[in-house]
Structure 1
Amino acid sequence: MTTGGARATARAVDDHPALDHVARLGLVTFGVVHLVLGWLAISLAFGDREGKADSSGAIRQLAEQPFGTVIVWAVAIGMVLLVVWQLIEALVGHRRHDGITRLRKRLTSLGKAIVYAAVATSAFRVAAGAGSSKENGTDSASARLMDLPVGQLLAGLVALGVAGVGAFLIFKGFTDRFLEDIEADGTRGHTGTVYVWLGRIGHVAKGAAVLGVAALFGYAAVSHEPKKSGGLDQALRVVLDQPFGPVLTGFFGAGFAAFGLFCFAWARHIDR
C-alpha cells in the first residue's frame, strides 16, 4: 500500500463512528485509573505509606481486588484503545484546524499516545504477574540517562518537557481549554456545571503534581543524583513532608479523583 493509500485508510478510520466507541472505552479506563490514584494519594495524606501513589500503584491496587486480574487486563486493553485513538489523531486527525494549530494538536496526540502506552505497559506487566511494588523504574531510568554523554543536559531537557506538560494542564484547567473536546450539551445545566468544575479541578491538580515530578528531575539533573529524581509517588511524598503537606497531598488526591470523574463525562460527551 502506498503512503497516500495508508493515509487515506487512516482518515477513513478516523472518520468512522466506531472510533468514538474506542475512545469512550479508553477514557472510562483512564478514569478508573485516576480514581484509584486519587484514593492512594488521599490514603497517603492520612498516613498510609504502603501503597505507591502513581499509575502503576493504582493498577496494582486494582489487581488486589476481587477479579483483579480480569480488571487489570481490561485496563490494559482500554489503554491500548487510547493509544490507537491518539496515534490515528496524530497521523491524520484534527483536520478541522489548520497550520500550526493542527501540528500542535497532532504532536500533543503523539505525546498522549506515549503516556497511555506507558500505563498500558504497566497494566500488562501487572496482569502477567511481572514487577513488584518494590521496583523503582524511574530511578534506574534516570541513572541510565545520566550515565550517557551530556546525560545531565538530557535529564534537564526531560525536566523541562515534563514541566511543560504540567504547565499546559494547569493552563487548560484555568482557561477551560479542555472543553474543546466535549460536546456543548455536556456543559449545559447543573450536570454540565459539575462536569466543567471536575475538569477544572482535575486538570489544575494533575498539572501541579506533574510540575512536582519535573522539579525532582530538574534537581537530579543539577545535582547529578539520579536517586533524587522520581515519579509521581516520590513527588507526593516530598509534598507530604512539607508544612501543610497532608492537606496538599489530599488536595492532589481529590484532584486526581476529579479528573477521573471528568474522564467519564468526557467519554459520554466526546467531541472529536
Structure 2
Amino acid sequence: MNTPSGKKTVNHVTGTARGAASEAKNSKWFEYVARIGYVMTGLIHAMIGWICLRLGLTGDSGESADQSGAIGAFADAPGGAALLFIGGVAMAALALTHVLDVFYGSGRRSKKKASGIIKAISKAVMYAVLAYTSIQFALGDSSDSGDSAESAAEPFLSSPTGKAIVISVGVIIIIVGLYHVYKGISRKFHQDLSPSGDRQIGQLIDKTGLVGYVAKGIALMGVGAMVMWAGFTADADKARGLDAAFKEALDLPGGGIALAAIGIGFILYGIYSALRAKYQEM
C-alpha cells in the first residue's frame, strides 16, 4: 500500500520527468541535434539508392541494397565510424523528438489525435532502428536487416495465427508504401515543411519529395508483398528486406531499368531528407 510520502515521491519523480521532457522538447540545442538526424537519414537513403542503381545497371552492387548495406558502406569509409556514431546519436534525438511530440507537440494537439499518435510513434520506431544500427556499426558490430526480418518472422510461421500475423504485417507495409506514393503524388509532404522563401529551393524540395516518396513507396510495397508471401507459404526465407525485394525485381522483365529508376528515386529522397534538416516543422 502506498503511503502519502510514497505518493509524493512518485509524483515528484513524475513531475521532474515531465519537466525534463518538456524542456528537451523546447530546447533549441536538442532541436539542432535532431535536425542533423534528417541529414543522416538522407545520407543513408542516398547510399541505398546508389547501391540499387548499381544493381539495376550492372546486376551486382557489391553491397546489400538496404539500410544495413548502406550503413556498412559508410562504416568501411575513412572516418565512417565517427560519422555513423554522430549520425546515430542525432537520429536517436530525432526519434525522441517524435516520442515527445505525442505528449507535447502536434500529435497531442491534432484533431485526429489517434492518427497523429500512430504517425509519431511509427516515425520514432523507424529513426530509433536506424540510430541503433548506425551506432552498432560505428562500434564495430554489424547485422543484416534481411536476416533480422527473417529471424523475426520465423517463430510465427508454425501456427495459423502466426501466419495470419505475418500476412497482416505484410499488408500494413504495403499500405504504408501506398501512403508514401500518395503523399508524393499529392505533394502532402509540403505540409510538413516551413516555406523555404526561395523559388529554386522550393522547386528542388517539390521534385525530390515527389519522386523520392513514390520510389520509396514502391520499394516498401515490394517488401510487403514478400512478407505476405512468407506468411502464405510459411517460408521465413521470403520475409526479407529491401535487398531481397530488389534482387527479386531484377529477374523480372525490365527489372534492371526499374531498379535503376528506383535507385535514382532513393537518391532524390536522400536529398529531400537532407533539406528537411532546415525546413522541417519541429
Normalised to the residue count of structure 2, the TM-score between the two structures is 0.88
Verify: 1:145 aligned to 2:145, yes or no.
no
Alignment of 1:210-229 (within 5 A): 210-229=220-239
Quote the Cα distance in structure 2 between the aligned partners of 1:148 and 1:88. 37
Which of 237, 241, 245 is equivalent to 1:235?
A: 245
What secondary structure, in the 3-state scheme, does the structure 2 residue paired with 1:66 have? Answer: coil
Once structures 1 and 2 are overlaid, which stretch shifts more, 8-17 or 103-112? Answer: 8-17
Verify: 1:160 aligned to 2:171, yes or no.
yes
Quote the Cα distance in structure 2 between the aligned partners of 1:12 and 1:141. 37
Deviation at 1:21, TM superposition (A): 1.1
Quick check: which has more Rg, 1 or 2? 2
Quote the Cα distance in structure 2 between the aligned partners of 1:135 and 1:28. 24
Deviation at 1:49, TM superposition (A): 4.0
Quote the Cα distance in structure 1 between the aligned partners of 2:105 and 2:22. 7
Deviation at 1:253, TM superposition (A): 0.7
Deviation at 1:9, TM superposition (A): 4.6
Quote the Cα distance in structure 2 between the aligned partners of 1:24 and 1:134. 25
When residues 125 and 238 of structure 1 are mapped into structure 2, their CA distance, relative to the original with a 3 A threshold, is same
Q: What letter corresponds to residue 222 of structure 1 in structure 2?
A: F
Verify: 1:105 aligned to 2:79, yes or no.
no
When residues 64 and 262 of structure 1 are mapped into structure 2, their CA distance, relative to the original with a 3 A threshold, is same
Q: What letter corresponds to residue 243 of structure 2 in structure 1?
A: D
Are the counterparts in 2 of residues 93 and 106 from structure 1 also a CA contact under 8 Å?
A: no
Q: Percent identity between the aligned chains?
A: 28
Which of 96, 121, 140 is equivalent to 1:84?
A: 96
Alignment of 1:28-47 (within 5 A): 28-46=39-57, 47=59
Are the counterparts in 2 of residues 94 and 106 from structure 1 also a CA contact under 8 Å?
A: no
Verify: 1:266 aligned to 2:276, yes or no.
yes
Q: What letter corresponds to residue 130 of structure 1 in structure 2?
A: D
When residues 99 and 8 of structure 1 are mapped into structure 2, their CA distance, relative to the original with a 3 A threshold, is farther
Quote the Cα distance in structure 1 between the aligned partners of 2:162 and 2:48. 31
- Listed one character per residue, the Cα deviations across residues 54-102 of structure 1 (whole Å, up to 9, x for unaligned) are 01110000011112221221232222122111111133220684332x3
Deviation at 1:195, TM superposition (A): 1.1
Are the counterparts in 1 of residues 49 and 266 from structure 2 also a CA contact under 8 Å?
A: yes
Quote the Cα distance in structure 2 between the aligned partners of 1:7 and 1:134. 35
Verify: 1:200 aligned to 2:200, yes or no.
no
When residues 51 and 192 of structure 1 are mapped into structure 2, their CA distance, relative to the original with a 3 A threshold, is same
Tell me the equivalent position of 1:72. Answer: 84
Which of 93, 103, 116 is equivalent to 2:105?
A: 93
When residues 202 and 157 of structure 1 are mapped into structure 2, their CA distance, relative to the original with a 3 A threshold, is same
Deviation at 1:138, TM superposition (A): 1.6
Once structures 1 and 2 are overlaid, which stretch shifts more, 68-77 or 172-181? Answer: 68-77
Deviation at 1:15, TM superposition (A): 3.3
What secondary structure, in the 3-state scheme, does the structure 1 residue paired with 2:106 have? Answer: coil
- Listed one character per residue, the Cα deviations across residues 115-135 of structure 1 (whole Å, up to 9, x for unaligned) are 111112221221222235697
What secondary structure, in the 3-state scheme, does the structure 2 residue paired with 1:53 have? Answer: coil
- Listed one character per residue, the Cα deviations across residues 114-169 of structure 1 (whole Å, up to 9, x for unaligned) are 11111122212212222356972221221123246711011011112211211111
When residues 135 and 216 of structure 1 are mapped into structure 2, their CA distance, relative to the original with a 3 A threshold, is closer
Deviation at 1:11, TM superposition (A): 3.7
Are the counterparts in 1 of residues 75 and 81 from structure 2 also a CA contact under 8 Å?
A: yes
Quote the Cα distance in structure 2 between the aligned partners of 1:244 and 1:54. 21
RMSD across aligned C-alpha pairs, in angstroms?
Answer: 2.1
Normalised to the residue count of structure 1, the TM-score between the two structures is 0.91
Q: What letter corresponds to residue 103 of structure 2 in structure 1?
A: L
Q: Give the unaligned 5+ runs of structure 2.
A: 1-11
Are the counterparts in 2 of residues 7 and 92 from structure 1 also a CA contact under 8 Å?
A: no
